[in-house]
Amino acid sequence: QIVVDTNDRFLRKITVGQANTEKGHARQVCSRYCLYQKLQKTAYSLYFFSIQFNLHLTGDIHAITAANNLVAAAIDARILHEATQSDKALYSRLVPSVNGVRCFSPIQMARLQRLGINKSDPSDLTPEEVRAFVRLDLDPEKVTWQRVVDTNDRFLRKITVGQANTEKGHARQTQFDIAVASEIMAILALTDGLADMRARLGRMVVGSSRNGQSITADDLGVTGALAVLMKDAIKPTLMQTLEGTPVFVHAGPFANIAHGNSSVLADKLALKLVGEEGYVVTEAGFGADIGMEKFFNIKCRTSGLRPDVVVLVATVRALKMHGGGPNVTAGVPLPKEYINENLQLVADGCSNLKKQIQIAHLFGVPVVVALNVFKTDTQAEIDMVCCIAEASGASAAVQCHHWSRGGRGSVELAHAVKKVASQKNHFQFLYNLQDSIVEKIRTIAQKVYGADDIELSPEAQAKIDHYNQQGFGALPICMAKTHLSLSHMPEKKGVPTGFILPIRDIRASIGAGFIYPLVGTMSTMPGLPTRPCFYDIDLDPVTEEIKGLF
């Protein structure tokens, strides 16, 4: 059975495995409520750990999962209660009399104000006002909020919830996403404080009413509870490397779906701690085409921060794959092409590296290429990559040996970054927010991916029209695309050209503040392979040493 730490009655009986990818292997299961003891935390705003990165250290994902699924439970419960109760019964339950006193809660007062009802005494509302207040009238077919779980569970890609008799026939199809794809994770990464986070949580759109109005978390009345669940997760965790370098660990938005960057709060706190003469290195997700593009167009807009230099990490092995090398399968020994010297594969694969450098230059930021050297790389291959990188416009290209030597192996990289960061750059965004949604998508597809054009499905076009109608057209774009290729086709390595980028669907993360198109067959819930890595993971009960994670 599936267990969740949310009172979600619509999970009492569900059918999983209904997506086409599961090839007809659907089945009915039940869920249970998992009650666990919350750990009491100290008053410290930062938690300092060293040596071992505990799997559940920060608690970010647990808090996000609980908050996300609370919204999902609230949605289905509200639909059920509205369908089975009169206006009067709903009103008496939503605004009960407690010890003879009946009053609106603060979040209910906010809803009244949004409805244009300027009254504070529950007894003063007219029947029409009562109806407007109690009826969200959520259309079950237009609910956009998904449940999440932090497991690659492909059978949750499409499910039917609400099949227990207690739900009175209110079953509907929905799905689970991977937990880090939750909009709440994106909000955690982009917020600058508790007040901003609460406001963003309240703006999250969960679906539409039958008359086409957006329904938000504020309308559900759940925002305050979400803020309470997230109040500790907003605090960055301070750790250190084995060599004592301070590191903030905070947030992890799924880079294929959200923007894939570390949190704004962690960046700003780190900058304050290092001072004007210090340097902060922050992750921008994988690939200049995904992580870096979103870092610039979304995170930099939100934070107001501007990067001084891009450190583009490359490996000889990855470049060989982009040069036409054979496929690599997890758990299977590497093909000889990746172990033995092969200058032709390296040279061909550097076309991808050149394109990545060009993408960074679209934003006016200089590039330092950090070649992560492994023991199987030959000096001729290393020299070739560095030479081609600098000829392609990189301000510097440095071989790095941190894989084998730790910090000592990256001193040359540090000097190169310091030198290039001191130079003036001309940072710019790729597009104007006032451009149409379609034009912003087309700009990314053509200038970053190298596509000839985009192709919108009828569903995607309908969503764009809907978002424009609701006033969301001026948000930045967060493309949900495979990381395995510059295109939407994972098997197309190097620098694909002559392709049309298909936009299958478009969703909106209004609280986080972006529109995200789903490109090609991109899935929001990964699946387990035939031989998952859990076969190799174990724990030594005596030393508590974890084996097989890396």
* Euclidean distance between CA atoms 62 and 427, whole angstroms: 36
Angle between helices 106-114 and 223-230 (to 10 degrees): 130
Contacts of 68 (CB under 8 A, 6+ apart): 147, 148, 179, 182, 183, 184
* Composition of the chain by helix, strand, coil, percent to 5: 40, 15, 45
In single-letter form, the type of residue at position 528 comes to L
**Do the Cβ atoms of 308 and 421 come closer than 8 Å?**
yes
Residues in the chain: 550
Low-confidence ranges of the chain (pLDDT < 50): 33-52
* Euclidean distance between CA atoms 415 and 396, whole angstroms: 10
In whole angstroms, how far apart are CA 4 and each of 184, 206, 228, 405, 500?
A: 17, 20, 18, 43, 41
Angle between helices 60-84 and 183-190 (to 10 degrees): 130
* Euclidean distance between CA atoms 21 and 400, whole angstroms: 41
Nearest to 58 by CA among 267, 270, 249, 190: 249
Provide the pLDDT for residue 5.
66
Provide the pLDDT for residue 504.
94
* Euclidean distance between CA atoms 542 and 534, whole angstroms: 20
In single-letter form, the type of residue at position 531 comes to R
3-state secondary structure 159-182: EEECCCHHHCCCCEEECEEEHHHC
In whole angstroms, how far apart are CA 191 and each of 47, 162, 251, 507?
A: 20, 34, 11, 20
Provide the pLDDT for residue 316.
97
If one counts every other C-beta atom within 10 angstroms of the C-beta of residue 315, the result is 17
**Residue located via tokens 């997230």:** 230
In whole angstroms, how far apart are CA 44 and each of 232, 265, 274?
A: 10, 16, 20
Q: What is the DSSP letter of 449?
A: I
- Backbone CA torsion sign across 392, 394, 398, 403: negative
Q: Which domains does the chain have, with CATH numbers?
A: 13-57+235-422 (3.40.50.300), 61-230 (3.30.1510.10), 437-518 (3.10.410.10)
Structure tokens at 454: 């985009």
Question: Which ranges constitute the DSSP H helices of 323-342?
Answer: none
Structure tokens at 268: 């700003």
Q: To 10 degrees, the CA torsion angle through 319, 385, 374, 292?
A: -60
First to last CA, the chain: 29
Structure tokens at 7: 């009172």
Provide the pLDDT for residue 332.
84
**Do the Cβ atoms of 467 and 473 come closer than 8 Å?**
yes
Nearest to 328 by CA among 536, 534, 529, 155: 529
3-state secondary structure 19-47: CHHHCCCCEEECEEECCCCCCCCCCCCCC
Provide the pLDDT for residue 132.
96
Distance of CA 146 to the CA centre of its chain: 14
* Euclidean distance between CA atoms 225 and 460, whole angstroms: 33
3-state secondary structure 70-111: HHHHHHHHHHHHHHHCCHHHHHHHHCCEECCEECCCHHHHHH
Provide the pLDDT for residue 350.
97
**Do the Cβ atoms of 210 and 177 come closer than 8 Å?**
no
Nearest to 446 by CA among 462, 428, 430, 463: 430
**Do the Cβ atoms of 95 and 102 come closer than 8 Å?**
yes
**Do the Cβ atoms of 346 and 323 come closer than 8 Å?**
yes
Task: Give me the phi and psi of 34, to 5 degrees please.
Answer: -105, 105
Conformation bin of residue 221: beta by default, left when phi > 0, alpha when psi is -120 to 50: left
**Do the Cβ atoms of 292 and 359 come closer than 8 Å?**
yes
Nearest to 71 by CA among 190, 196, 215: 215
